[in-house]
Amino acid sequence: MRMSQRFGRTLREKPAEAEMPSHELLLRAGMISKLAAGIYSYLPLAWRSIRKIEDIMRKEMDAAGGQEINMPVVHPSDIWEESGRFFEVGPEMVRFKDRSGRDMVLAMTHEEPVTDLARRFIDSYKQLPIVVYHIQTKFRDEPRSRGGLVRVREFVMKDAYSFHADEKGLDEYYPAQCRAYRRICRSCGVPVTQVQGDVGMMGGTGAHEFTYVTDAGEDTLILCPRCGYAANREAARIDKSSGVPEPVEGEMLPAPAKVSTPGKDTIASVCEFLGRDPKTSIKTMVYFAGQDPVMVVLRGDLDVNEKKLANLRKVDKMRLAEPEELKELGLEQGYMSPVGVERIFVVADDSLSAERAYVAGANESGYHLVGVVPGRDFRIDVVADIATAREGDACPACGERLTVKRGVEVGNTFKLGTRYSVPMKAMYQDENGELKPLVMGCYGMGVGRLLACVIEANHDDKGIIWPMTVAPYHVHLVALGTSEDARSTAEGVYERLLAEGIEVLYDDRDESAGVKFNDADLLGMPIRVTVSERSLKRGGAEVKLRRLPEGEIVPLDELPDRLKEIIRREIERILPGEES
């Protein structure tokens, strides 16, 4: 392609709206254009990369046993009502009526349509397992889009779905998809960390996320430097036994005693006043799940993980109670506890032990209770892990101190189990003739988000540094000088490279050397070939890899073969080996 005919243009200055390097560079390079908040057009160069990313995805999905299909973007609401998600999902799902008054939704994911397909075409265990995938547009009305292609409202996603006879079959197949995801990211030049994830609105029994670690990311990762434990903070666990003081002999025998704690309305202040370790105190908070209050109790040194709590209560999110609402419930802020509370649902973190006594609020201003035993002195409705992992907490696997990183989630995998097949009656007949629900897995990866992460992982202060595997073009040919000899030679090189099947972006514009070199660095094609009077005097064309500081002079008659060798070598450098 000739730069003089290119649709789109480069920008010299950083756009004010740009929040991340990939966002800035995609806009400055003229690769995307914003139509509305979180809605972008892909211009020719970016679209060429998108197609290459999709081809890599197809290759790995096919290798994992997938069959490509295509499902609609517009769904009748009936199937979402069957699964229950029509009523569970909030305003991020776009709902509308067609001309006949029928309720419809825009696809934000495709579990319901693919389950509908499965119940139509899978009826025997002999057909299982089966894996299908598609690359399709989705729409989620995000409250705040950010980072260019990192969080958008309209996006293209590769999602795959597997169907199995039982959980064992899903467990055996699941690692193949995880391996495929690691290979896809590696093939695109993006290093990712596989972390345990939260099942969220997808449901199911387990999930993993494939995350590019970067300070600009919006996800929080909890990582162990010793054993490799890795989880999203929403799902991360910690070793809660670490550093817990031994109970004082006999302290659990007496009934709770009320003590005066004037003005001590925080865990830190009351523990300092009483000379107690925060690990021997109870933190009490009240949330609302819709209109229903939920009292949460956990060890005083820990914090509540609101996502875990929301999942436990099967709601999208929890809301912390306001001071006025606490008064209406007869509770005193700063001095609350579950002792004596009768009509509020109580969730206790598994950090609390029925074999220990704790300091807790007395539900009276200026007073606390000492010697409170969970389960003996107050009612517990549910015990669960609802604590947030933090920097320095103990690893649940090996006890090492955990570290916290930021990252961008590129893809995710879920063990859905029968979350959708049971309510939607997607059944198969087993070898004994009995009807059983299909066991499902699903595996999603954002195409545009992966493109953004390619640039996040491969750029410098001058622009993009495309990996050869997904670069819009392999070669950026630059013609310099005003002499007829140099220009005609560059034209001949361009035509010859095209004839040899080499992907070439040719800067044939009447611009200065500085403008052309700056644009070449900004656009970031892997190889720059410069034809100028100077290079010709030195014996040919200058060939320079974008990722390296120096180039070399290659004779014109050797240029196609030399470029093919560089392209092959660079692709081999990026692609994962068979054991990855």
Query: pLDDT per residue over 103-134, tens digit each?
Result: 999 999 999 999 999 999 999 999 999 999 99
Listing DSSP states for 109-131 in one string gives --HHHHHHHHHHH--BGGG-SEE
Out of 384, 414, 431, pick the residue that ends a domain.
384
How many domains in the chain?
Answer: 3
Q: What is the per-residue pLDDT across 126-150, written as a single tens digit (0 to 9) for each?
A: 999 999 999 999 999 998 898 999 9
Over residues 160-188, the mean pLDDT reads: 97
Q: What is the per-residue pLDDT across 286-298, written as a single tens digit (0 to 9) for each?
A: 999 889 999 999 9
Over residues 409-420, the mean pLDDT reads: 95
Side chain identity at 8, as an amino acid letter? G
- Asked if the model's pLDDT at residue 268 lies above 70, the reply is yes
Q: Beta strand 541-545 with 527-531: parallel, antiparallel or unpaired?
A: antiparallel
Helix (H, G, I), strand (E, B) or coil at 328: helix
pLDDT of residue 253: 64
Residue 435 lies inside a defined structural domain of this protein: yes
Over residues 455-482, the mean pLDDT reads: 96
**Domain match, 46 and 165 both:** yes
**Domain match, 277 and 210 both:** no
What's the CA dihedral at 292, 297, 301, 306 to 10 degrees?
-30
**Domain match, 73 and 202 both:** yes
**Domain match, 302 and 166 both:** no
Residue 124 lies inside a defined structural domain of this protein: yes
Q: What is the per-residue pLDDT across 325-341, written as a single tens digit (0 to 9) for each?
A: 999 999 999 999 999 99
**Domain match, 514 and 379 both:** no
CATH number of the domain within which 367 lies: 3.90.960.10
- Asked if the model's pLDDT at residue 462 lies above 60, the reply is yes
**Domain match, 51 and 95 both:** yes
pLDDT level of residue 34 (50, 70, 90 thresholds): very high
- Whole-prediction pTM: 0.92
CB 526 within 8 A of CB 474: yes
Domain enclosing residue 558, as ranges: 464-574
Out of 326, 352, 384, pick the residue that ends a domain.
384
**Domain match, 224 and 281 both:** no
Question: Which residues, at least 6 apart from 65, have a Cβ–Cβ distance to it below 8 Å?
Answer: 129, 131, 176
Residue 445 lies inside a defined structural domain of this protein: yes
Out of 354, 384, 414, pick the residue that ends a domain.
384
pLDDT of residue 377: 95
Helix (H, G, I), strand (E, B) or coil at 55: helix
CB 134 within 8 A of CB 102: no
Alpha-carbon span 285 to 298, nearest angstrom: 9
**Domain match, 221 and 330 both:** no
Residue 215 lies inside a defined structural domain of this protein: yes
Residue 399 lies inside a defined structural domain of this protein: no
Residue 247 lies inside a defined structural domain of this protein: no
CATH number of the domain within which 475 lies: 3.40.50.800
**Domain match, 77 and 115 both:** yes
CATH number of the domain within which 210 lies: 3.30.930.10
Q: Shortest CA distance to 201 belongs to which of 81, 89, 82?
A: 89
**Domain match, 327 and 345 both:** yes
Residue 500 lies inside a defined structural domain of this protein: yes
**Domain match, 431 and 489 both:** no
Q: Which long-range contacts (CB under 8 A, 24 or more apart) does 320-325 make?
A: 320/285, 320/286, 320/287, 320/288, 321/285, 321/286, 321/287, 321/288, 321/293, 325/286, 325/288, 325/293
**Domain match, 59 and 164 both:** yes
Residue corresponding to tokens 């909030």: 90
Alpha-carbon span 196 to 190, nearest angstrom: 19
Over residues 335-355, the mean pLDDT reads: 95
Over residues 423-446, the mean pLDDT reads: 97
pLDDT of residue 206: 83
Residue 389 lies inside a defined structural domain of this protein: no
